Structure 1
Amino acid sequence: MTGELFPDAPTPVGDEVLAPGAMLLRGYAVGRAEALVAAVEEVQSRVPFVHLVTPGGHTMSVAMTNCGRVGWVSDRRGYRYAATRPGTDQPWPDMPDVLRELAEEAARRSGFPDFDPDACLINRYEPGARMSLHQDRDENDRQAPIVSVSLGLPAVFQFGGFQRSDRPARIPLAHGDVVVWGGPSRMRFHGVLAVKPGDHPLLGNCRINLTFRKVF
């Protein structure tokens, strides 16, 4: 399917096994990056990026928006998924086909043939933004994979064990790289070190991260 939809897409650089149920697909999204960014711009034109507040009262350094059946939100009441945008009765924008197709194809390539994402969390990292080590625990389905797509500035992905104290591997991610983890690796701690300044030809001085989730 990828070759039919994107005939000029380069062959991915290679796949790397990170752990049982976890794969790094180097360069997998490069050939469709412009279409992905255009889809992100359409979503954020309807639901702009915001810096959410954690239950502890801290403002996240990463800005976020969502698309899909549900969206992930955070405030003083906690972390959760919601069918409507905070403060409104409006649903989130539909997940664009180009996003959904990429997520499903990457999951299938990584051994998860039935992945059907409910949500796409769109994170914008400007220089200095980071994501501390955490587990994704707000989904009812904790076997289906997380599919994470990197666009723009490079970043260092931390992929740890099942305890926060486990020392994580530090994995450099470049524009177009995709990480997939599920099944036996689904509950591993992970995060992103602070993004360094730069100038990417497509996204300028920022990194966009798409994370696809099966919530229900």
Structure 2
Amino acid sequence: MRPSPPPLLPQMELGLTDTRPSRVTLSPGAVLLRGFALPESTELLDAILHLTALSPFRTMQTPGGGRMSVAMSNCGPLGWVTDRSGYRYTPTDPETLAAWPDMPPAWHALAARAAKAAGFDNFSPNACLINRYEPHTRMALHQDKDEGDFSQPIVSVSLGLPIAFLWGGLKRSTAPHSILLEHGDVLVWGGKARLHYHGVKPLADGIHPLTGRARFNLTFRFVAPRS
């Protein structure tokens, strides 16, 4: 079988004029901001290398005993983890036993700007999941509901290889539709869309000039303090 050809680079990366709309509404409260993070993408990738040297990528165990295919880490005051005891946020990395690395101020500012551009003012995330996708890894449909506060949006930044994002409804049974996420795209969802099911299809093999055979995703969230 012949290997799959590398994906075509987005028009913006080729120095061409991108005539597609820069803002796409997936549903009320869910907005794709095409190329929003592209100007700072190199700095974002450099920071990922630094942060994951402190809290390395790992494939986490699910409560059912399986393993996630996506490699994960975190930065910020809180980090999302999963193991046999369940899904939760912790102030320390269970592997290093140290606090998660600080969220870079530029990352916090990017997330706040993207949220504001999508119609959500005063977003101040205190958790950022750092995901690494390699060919054929995927993320099943799920809701982000471990945060204890659904008044704040989710801000998701895509870096590296393109991937097909699945956007569903408030019920798992609602058939999702697919939209391509490319390097530098930022997806924001909140309000009525905050608990929509979402996921990604398996990552197609290819080569990106900055990330090689990988895609990285930064997911910014606000987690309510424990009472």
TM-score range relative to shorter protein: over 0.9
RMSD of aligned residue pairs (Cα, Å):
1.5
1:79 aligned to 2:73? no
Larger Rg computed on CA atoms: 2
TM-score, normalized by length of structure 1? 0.93
- Residues 14, 44 of structure 1: CA spacing in aligned structure 2 closer, same or farther, 3 A cutoff? same
1:192 aligns with 2:203: no
Q: Structure 2 counterpart of 1:215, which letter?
A: V
Tell me which amino acid in the other structure corresponds to 1:213. R
- Whole-Å Cα distance in 2 between the matches of residues 204 and 129 of structure 1? 15
Deviations 1:107-150 (A, max 9, x none): 01011111000100000000010000000110011121000010
Alignment check: 8 A CA contact 2:134 2:215 kept:
yes
* Aligned partner of residue 50 in structure 1, secondary structure: coil
Number of aligned positions between the proteins: 207
Q: For residues 107 and 95 of structure 2, what CA distance do their matches in structure 1 show?
A: 26
Give the 3-state SS of the residue equivalent to 1:27 in structure 2: coil
In structure 2, the partner of 1:143 is 151
Determine if contact 1:13/1:28 at 8 Å carries over to the other structure: no
2:43 to 35, 40, 43: 35
**Contact 1:13/1:27 (8 A) holds in 2:** no
**Aligned partners of 1:68 and 1:94 also within 8 Å:** yes
2:158 is aligned with 1:158: no
**Aligned sequence identity (%):** 53
CA distance in 2, matches of 1:112, 1:19: 15
In the alignment, which residue of structure 1 is the partner of 2:123?
115
CA distance in 1: counterparts of 2:97 and 2:141, whole angstroms:
32
1:92 aligned onto 2:108? no
Which ranges in structure 1 are unaligned for 5 or more consecutive residues?
1-9
| Cα distance in 1 for residues equivalent to 2:191 and 2:82 | 26
Kept after mapping to 2: 8 A contact 1:39/1:98: no
Superposed displacement of residue 87, structure 1 = 4.7
Give the ranges of 4+ consecutive aligned residues of structure 1 lying more than 3 Å apart after TM superposition.
Answer: 10-13
Q: Contact 1:112/1:145 (CA < 8 Å) preserved in 2?
A: yes
Give CA-to-partner distance per residue, 1:44-72, whole Å, 9 cap, x none.
01011000000001110000000001000
TM-score (norm 2): 0.88
- Provide, for residues 21-79 of structure 1, a one-character-per-residue CA deviation record: whole Å limited to 9, x for no partner: 11000011111100000111110010110000000011100000000010000000000
Please give the secondary structure, in 2, of the residue aligned with 1:80: strand
In the aligned structure 1, how far is the partner of 2:203 from the partner of 2:215?
8
Establish whether residue 15 from structure 1 lines up as the match of residue 20 from structure 2: no
CA distance in 2, matches of 1:73, 1:42: 20
Look up the SS of the partner of 1:55 in the other structure.
Answer: coil
